[in-house]
A and B are shown apart, each in its own frame.
Chain A
Amino acid sequence: MNMVNLVGIISDFDKLTKMLAIDGCMQPVSALQEINSSDFVLKTDLDNIEELKNVNYIKPYLYDKDYNISLKHLEKLVEDLKTIDIRGGTINDKIFDFDDSEKELSKVYDKYMVLNKNIEDLEKKQQYLKNTYIALEFLKNISHPMEEITTMENFQMGLYKVPDQNMVKLKANYENIPSIIESVYKEKGFVIFISYTPILLLIEAERIFKSANCENIQMPKHYIGTAKEVAVSVHDEINEIQQSTWRIRIELNVFLRENYEIIKKIQRSYELEQKSGEIKKSAACTNEFFYLSGWIPKSFMESFNKLLMSFDDRILIITKDTNERTNKAIIPPTMLINNELVKPFESMVLMYGVPSYGEIDPTMFLAITYTIMFGAMFGDVGQGLVLVLVGFLLKNKWDRINLGGVFEILGLSSIVFGFLYGSVFGSEYVINALLVRPMQHINDVLIAAIIFGCGFLILGFILGIINSIRKKDIERALFGKEGVAGFMFYLGILILIVSIVYKNPLLPKAIWMIYFIFFLLLILLKKPLANILVGKDVLFEEGAKDYFIESSFEVIETLLSMFSNTLSFIRVGAFALNHVGLFVAFSAMASMTKSGFASVMILILGNIIIICLEGMIVFIQGLRLEYYELFSKYYEGGGVSFEPVRVKLRERI
């Protein structure tokens, strides 16, 4: 990981940040913080004189572009685009200049709005006419012409739409309202009513209606004839409006289709603007120059340099490796690099923590050990195949790439162990076991599990020691219970046990005793020993008494945890047995039923339960072994992940 500091002319800033966002190679950090450290130092020579002079006027870059309204307009357009179905091709085009995108957007949006406004107006009018039609339906038995009703001398007829809960209020207070009210139509949420009010009391009545949030629907005055006749013409008008709405909708559809690519292009451009804004916010500037800092992984440096070439040396670069940096306050982020097969397991490592920069990435180790353990616990050809299928679906159908990938690999492992155990959907009669039938060799399976566990733990020790050396933590590497001292002690115990089992004592008892006590003493005295090695003056930082009390407990804990960590792996064997056991229970139930159909159903149900329930338990138990027994040996996970600012590269349609 490199820290890259960039200085350039402010006019290049927008283009640079946008290209960085497209390239997705940089995780920006606060440039001011970096400038305050001694890592952002410009060489004092004549070429840099302008940049150096400007450092005195440096301030945080103020990103104040406000395009919230444009975003909302864009959102409306994109929302409407979803209604049309267009396939084929990819869109990769972007507009670099912000003002151009604003112009382009307003050009499209204005045209869109004209059509949309037309539709809205028509729909409003249609709704209004529908309400009138409802009122006219109510009045259809009146033989007087409408023009006489709407132009009465002393009374005014009104048509109102009111929320239903407010209608309740009007009704409750009816005696105090100076109008005759007749509700003519009810729908969820609102009521339409006709009112007859004496002209003299009109102002008061209207005030009351307004306070009840009544919407006045003007009765049409230009119609002539009885209510029944008017209703017919209103109905025709509604139909006409509906047809016009359809016509404009089609027009709008055509417009969206024609402008699909341009809208998508504008969308990309705004995304690019937002992302480049993110980079800009961390930068510093003067009136003429910008100062930008960020992490770039070494593997991305080549493409980054290529990107800079388009600026013809106008941008100054200071690149520093993490080792050369003096400012330790900004922690370098970690980028995990793993091959396609192992990559899904990264999510399991990240659940525990991100590896610190420089720490060994445990993904590969976890992927291998976890896959083996899962297969050993859940060895079955048929059920494994189901897992592979589920994994395939998760990956390709439901877009859960990580989970799907893990399931696929675990399923394959399960299939392999299924052949070794000779188990297909729980049944042990279909194929022969290539290696062992767990239920018939219970002890062997359990012992094998522990032996495998020992192997894993030894690997864990080695990785832990390497990590501690990388971090230059001598105390932990040499004398810690996860370091060389602990490792030698553990190896000693293993060798002793093997020699006792095979009745072939390698060393006399006294020497073994000295060997164990020596390494336990090393663990006990790890701090003073490390301090001596490093050359520190103080042996115990917080007093000898406290240190020894704490440390002696640690020694006891070491003994206990080595024992329990090793035995813990017995569960791998136990679950292999359990797997067979569960199926035996279901097959016994199946054989007890007399109907063939029922027994088949029980077996199918049994398999489903085994896959879901036991599959989950095994998944969790394996994870527990990884996190608790193994990660505690070698992995801290206290890092930060590398999260570059990046726009989605291209969209398939």
Chain B
Amino acid sequence: MGSIVRFSAINSKVKALIGKSMSQEEYLKLLKCKDFKSTVKVLKEETKYEKILEQYNLEKINRANLEIILQRNYIRIYSKLINYFNGEYRNIIKTLFLRWEIEDLKVIIRGKYLGRSKVEIENKLIARSSLNTINYDYLIALKNVEEVIDGLKGSIYYNNLKNSVKDIRGKGLFRIETELDFVYFMSIRKKLKHLDIENKDVGYSITGVEVDLLNLGWIYRGKIFYEISPEELFNYTIYNGSKFSKDKLIKLCYVNDMEDFRNLIERTPYAHIYENYDLISIEKRQREFQKKYYKKFLRENRNNISMVMSYIMFYGIEIRDIISILEQKRYYIGMN
């Protein structure tokens, strides 16, 4: 099938969806609000989220609930996008969805680890949909983390998790959560292999940038906060990034101080993100970088998978931005 036939419908749909995303003015309006309640009110009455929020009583809503509502709406839109694809491309969109299923799986595992109730866990789940590869009801009904991991037998997650389960009593869920992220990137890479060269390349570079950013964030936090040994740091990095070879990653893991870290990434597009070491502004600059990166694809409107992949990421960032604004209002943080 020609790429025009395959992508023109989804690209038009994506364009229509972009039209519904938040504009600069709308962000400013939200930022100018005085407190949490008025921000939610503006979000409900003056932005494109009106329709989604109209059925909720916002008087009683808190930040966490709102986040779940926005995320679930995101998943609802996502589940519809799958209908524009068939064959290998459908598989790609399904595999990209694993990211949210994995987030839910983390919620379930964490919930079981902390002994949360069934309802508490269910209220936090966002990705229940026809695209699921796991049986939510069954996993939620199980008693503890060990049972949940055992209940994943037959799913794509089991092999990676079965060794980590022994460590949770001593070391917590860190390894399980990292392994789940590995599963996601491994699966994406496997599926991308089956596409034609153009789509494969663009798919690799979009996921590659994501991997790079995750790796940098991981190494940075590992060095500054957790003091993890370089060998372990390296083992927990995700491979197949876009700008960093294995050797460069090793070098990054073995830097002595953050000055070396900055020097090593100086010539990459990510240098700007780490120009100072304040964690919040790093996150902010990272999101700006990502938005700019995905916007480029969205503007180019090429007849390949880039448009839909970028949109999926772009919309995810929009929700995080809104949540950040709401958090700022909720916890009275300054505007800058």
Contact = CB atoms under 8 A, between A and B. Distances in A.
Complex A-B, nearest 8 residue pairs according to Cβ-Cβ distance, in ascending order? A211-B235, A68-B137, A211-B232, A68-B141, A212-B235, A72-B138, A208-B231, A172-B246
B167 A211 contact: no
A170 B235 CA distance: 8
Interface stretch (A160-168, A227-235, A351-359, A394-402): A160-168
A624 interface: no
B141 A169 contact: no
A66 interface: yes
B229 A68 contact: no
Given A169-B239, A208-B231, A213 B140 contact: no
A144 interface: no
B234 interface: yes
A534 B138 CA distance: 61
Interface in B184-218: 186
Most chain A CB inside 10 Å of its own CB: which residue of B167, B232, B237: B232
Interface string A263-281: 0000000000000000000
A211 B142 CA distance: 27
B230 A176 contact: yes
A208 B232 contact: yes
A210 B174 CA distance: 12
A173 B231 contact: yes
A186 interface: no
A207 B229 contact: yes
Contacts of B141: 66, 68-69
A71 B231 contact: no
Contacts of A208: 229, 231-232, 235
A173 B232 contact: no
B300 interface: no
Contact of B232 (A69, A165, A207): A207
Contacts of B237: 169
Given A66-B141, A69-B141, A165-B186, 19 more contacts: A68-B135, A163-B159, A168-B239, A168-B246, A169-B234, A169-B235, A169-B237, A172-B246, A172-B247, A173-B234, A189-B159, A207-B232, A208-B229, A210-B175, A211-B231, A211-B235, A211-B236, A212-B235, A213-B163
Nearest to A171: B246
7 contacts: A68-B138, A68-B140, A72-B151, A177-B231, A208-B229, A208-B231, A213-B164
A189 B237 CA distance: 18
- Describe A's contact surface by its main secondary structure: helix
A215 interface: yes
Contacts of A214: 163
A211 B179 CA distance: 10
Nearest to A189: B159
Contact of B167 (A68, A210, A215): A210
Given A69-B141, A69-B142, A168-B239, A213 B179 contact: yes
A294 B182 CA distance: 51
B31 interface: no
B137 A165 contact: no
Interface of B: 118, 135, 137-138, 140-142, 151, 159-160, 163-164, 167, 175, 179, 186, 229-232, 234-237, 239, 246-247, 250, 254
A383 B320 CA distance: 62
Contacts of B250: 172-173
B176 to A, nearest CB: 11
Contacts of B167: 210
Contacts of B239: 165, 168-169
Contacts of B186: 165
A213 B235 CA distance: 9
Nearest to B118: A66
A172 to B, nearest CB: 5
Contacts of B140: 68
A189 B236 CA distance: 18
A19 B251 CA distance: 71
A168 B250 CA distance: 12
A413 B150 CA distance: 59
B160 to A, nearest CB: 7
A435 B243 CA distance: 79
Nearest to B246: A172
Contacts of B247: 172
Interface string A208-252: 101111110000000000000000000000000000000000000
Contact of B138 (A71, A173, A213): A71
Nearest to A214: B163
A213 B160 contact: yes
A98 to B, nearest CB: 16
A170 B164 CA distance: 18
A172 B236 CA distance: 13
Nearest to B137: A68
B138 A215 contact: no
A72 B135 contact: yes
Nearest to A70: B141
Interface in A120-176: 163, 165-166, 168-170, 172-173, 176
Interface in A164-207: 165-166, 168-170, 172-173, 176-177, 189, 204, 207
Nearest to B240: A165
A220 B163 CA distance: 20
A377 B247 CA distance: 73
Nearest to B189: A165
Most chain B CB inside 10 Å of its own CB: which residue of A170, A177, A210: A210
Nearest to B228: A211
Nearest to B147: A69
B161 to A, nearest CB: 9
A68 B237 CA distance: 37
Interface string A57-87: 0000000001011011000000000000000
A211 B164 CA distance: 9
A163 B137 contact: no
Nearest to A72: B138
B222 to A, nearest CB: 11
B163 A215 contact: yes
Contacts of B138: 68-69, 71-72
B186 to A, nearest CB: 7
A208 B229 CA distance: 9
B4 to A, nearest CB: 26
B183 to A, nearest CB: 10
